[in-house]
Amino acid sequence: MIPLKRRKVVPTGAGNTGSEETSPNKFPQVVLFLLERKMGASRRAFLSQLGRKKGFQVEELFSEGITHVICENNSGDEVIAWLESQVRGRGRATAHLLDVSWFTESMRAGRPVEILDRHQLQQQQIREVEVVVFSAPSYACQRRTTLDNHNAILTDALSLLAENAELSGEDGRGVAFRRAAGVLKGLPEPVTAVTQLVGLPCLGGHSLRVVKDILENGASCEVEDTKQSERFKVLKVLTGIFGVGVKTAERWIQEGIRGLQQLQDSGRTLNRAQQAGLQHYEDLNQHVTRSEADAVAAVVEEAVASVLPGARMTLIGGFRRGKLTGHDVDFLITHPEEGREVGLMPKVVSWLESQGFLLYQKTTKNSYLEGEDGPARPSSNMDRFERCFSIFKLTEEVNGEGLKPWRAVRVDLVVSPISQFAFALLGWTGSKLFERELRRWAGHKKAMSLSSHALYDNTQRRYLRASSEEEIFAHLGLEYIPPSERNA
């Protein structure tokens, strides 16, 4: 190591100074910039000083006056993406993109050597071809998003940051990350450069930095740090207990509880849902397969038909959108004759209990009232249908998997009057972001209020009736999007 007091510091723009470390600029038509990416700061500083000694002008900062960009271990695509991000909105960068071999040969020759094919970065010949720039509507309810996600590595990263924000009580940041992920999910091709995302909605600076980090380095430091965060891991475990929300988990953490065994050993009093959630934790945190969902559906359908012939039952949620696995199974139940559904839920629950299918259940009554002055603002985002939150005992005889005698599965039953069925079907199909954006579109663009119960026109001061999802989309002035394309 050279002692610090003897080390010379090369100031910015040293190529234009008269320092003893710098020779006069011998080649005014050549302005060099050494890209630090993958080269490293120390090697870049050494090579920059060497170039100045040889009479070359070497700039510390990139500008449009640069004629030669010197790179090491970078592909042409990587450097083009970096350059485009530097000159955004100011035209296209026109510098030569060269491997460090051109620089070292020029240093040996004491002059700029001829640029040969071997000096140019790989794929430099297609540099002038325009990168495909994606476009997308602002609202997720305007976009068709299938399960064919071409950018899973990017959307998984943003979704994890969204989850971390939500677990930290920062719902606004969580929504921002989920909207950004939703846009990327809908793109028709993989993203290869951040320049393709210029002008896309919902992609803020934070999300773009994460995307850029992954595209350039294969991973995001922020995402990897989040995965390793002790607090994040503990919150994931505790909120993975059925019936435990973020606030409860935070309180337990403050009291020193870090895992399931500590919670069991603490002697803490748990409510019925939490007791069931802790008892069946392993099962409830495994994905439910489509075949298991179909097995549950067969049982629920038998129960509904037994207590109210003619009633209709529909599998909703992610499975209706075409997903092959899910966290739970949801069903929407109605009857073609308005009012016949009243009293149905207790009978269905009683039938399931008598057959030994329910490990836990909690039923809530319908509290929705349609007001003359429009719908009252609900106390929460949850709808007010008659519902049964349950943990279902799926036996080997029913599911046919043969892995063990039975497993616990989360099942939600929702009963809707036929007059509200189309709205309930739309609201309960999801995805969560798609539904959030539908409500946002209704309010911001159409001056309407949309819920899983009804659609109210605030300008005309009247309810807009619908007997199908297609009619609701038409009321909102939107092109109908089928369930399989609502996976925002």
For the annotated catalytic residues, the residue numbers are: 328, 330, 412
Q: How far apart are CA 220 and CA 229, in angstroms?
A: 14
Strand partners, 313: 333
The 3-state secondary structure of 85-129 reads HHCCCCCCCCCEEEEHHHHHHHHHHCCCCCCCHHHECCCHHHCCC
Cα 399 → chain centroid: 32
Across 208-239, b (16+ Cβ under 10 Å) vs e yields bebbbbbbbeeebebbeebeeeeebebbebbb
Q: How far apart are CA 39 and CA 97, in angstroms?
A: 15
Q: How far apart are CA 212 and CA 206, in angstroms?
A: 10
Helix (H, G, I), strand (E, B) or coil at 17: coil
Q: How far apart are CA 148 and CA 150, in angstroms?
A: 6
Q: Which amino acid is at 303?
A: A
Q: How far apart are CA 77 and CA 305, in angstroms?
A: 61
Q: What's the residue count for the chain?
A: 488
The number of beta carbons lying within 10 Å of the beta carbon of residue 256 is: 8
Strand partners, 389: 362, 412
Strands 31-34 and 68-71 turn out to be: parallel
DSSP letter at 486 equals: B
Taking the CA atoms of 470, 473, 474 and 478 in sequence, report the sign of the dihedral they define.
Answer: negative
